[in-house]
Structure 1
Amino acid sequence: MISSLINANPIIYERKERRERSEHIDADEYAVEPIDQQEVFDHVRDIKDPEHPYSLEELKVVSEDAIEVNDERSHVSVTFTPTVEHCSMATVIGLCIRVKLMRSLPSRYKVDIRVAPGTHATEAAVNKQLNDKERVAAALENPNLLEMVDECLAPTYA
């Protein structure tokens, strides 16, 4: 956790109830349910905020409505909304979302992570960093940053 908070008193929202996913089994007994918006949301909703003991869902940084999935084209787009316009953790939050999806989705998926338009002072720079393979790879080579990401992705048992 960071000692000097950018947003010391964030608004906390109620978590949505998890819905059951139905799986369809084909004749060869393999699950054939395509990845959808709900599944992607279920992967990212529990990511912890780097500054607060709340999930990205509880802070309304991520929402199911801000996720687009095109299973046929193997493309996922996640738009997130920082809690404040000058959030210094926006890049870390986006990196956490990217890493969680890299670890959760099949490798065939291309993932785009974006800050919601008009919600961050350096939106273009954050978007550029989050969607540049070399920058993401370099960030993940930084042990301190990787430790922060892993801490945000660690499961909670609440």
Structure 2
Amino acid sequence: MEIVSGLVSYALAKFLFLSRLSNKENAEKIKKMEEKVLEVYDIIRTIRDPEKPNSLEELEVVAEDCIEVKSLDDDDYLIIIRFTPTVPHCSLATLIGLCLRVKLQRCLPYKHKLEIYISEGSHSTEEDINKQINDKERVAAAMENPNLREIVEQCVLEPDD
């Protein structure tokens, strides 16, 4: 009985030790993802609205809590952004999504996959716009349009540029 008790005690001690290590690793991963969220937010918050002189942050189109970052592997991340247009019938919602995509593709120093969506229930044609802004071929075609490309360039410029 003493041997069994000793084995149970040893197993429990080992479990608790490994559990604490696991919790420490999880805490480090969570901290790293929070830092990535802040980095992404810092990049997108200065994008200007296509119709107004305000930034997306000022108009509350984007916020820190609309960004989610997940690790796919050591150096590759999935970034999910949910933005909220100022009105449910915003005609420039697709353009805003395109600006988000372009700015992040240019500015993020690490490998990433982007998923950009309109916040659920915030736009009348939400599904169609979500398809457009996440379709590589549609994004590439849009960026081939010189007029559209010029608008995107103006929106993604930093205020000091």
TM tier, smaller: 0.7 to 0.9
- Conserved? CA contact 1:37–1:64, under 8 Å: yes
Residue 122 of structure 2: SS of its match in structure 1? coil
Residue 111 of structure 2: SS of its match in structure 1? coil
Deviation, structure 1 residue 108: 2.1
- Percent of aligned pairs with the same amino acid: 54
Q: Aligned equivalents of 1:78 and 1:87: distance in 2?
A: 18
Aligned-residue CA RMSD in angstroms?
A: 1.7
Q: Aligned equivalents of 1:107 and 1:134: distance in 2?
A: 22
Could you list the runs of 5+ residues in structure 1 that have no partner in the other structure? 1-32
Deviation, structure 1 residue 104: 1.1
Counterpart of 1:103 (choices 101, 106, 127) is 106
Residue 68 of structure 2: SS of its match in structure 1? strand
Runs of 4+ in 1 over 6 A off after TM superposition: none
Highest CA radius of gyration, 1 or 2?
2
Per the normalisation by structure 2, the TM-score is 0.74
- Conserved? CA contact 1:47–1:152, under 8 Å: yes
Count of residue pairs brought into register by the alignment: 126
Q: Aligned equivalents of 2:148 and 2:45: distance in 1?
A: 20
Render the CA deviation track for 1:122-151: whole Å, top value 9, x for unaligned.
000000000000000000100000000000
| Greater percentage in strand | 2
Query: Which residue number corresponds to residue 57 of structure 1?
Result: 57
Render the CA deviation track for 1:58-102: whole Å, top value 9, x for unaligned.
000000000001134410011000000000000000000000011
Query: Which residue number corresponds to residue 38 of structure 1?
Result: 38
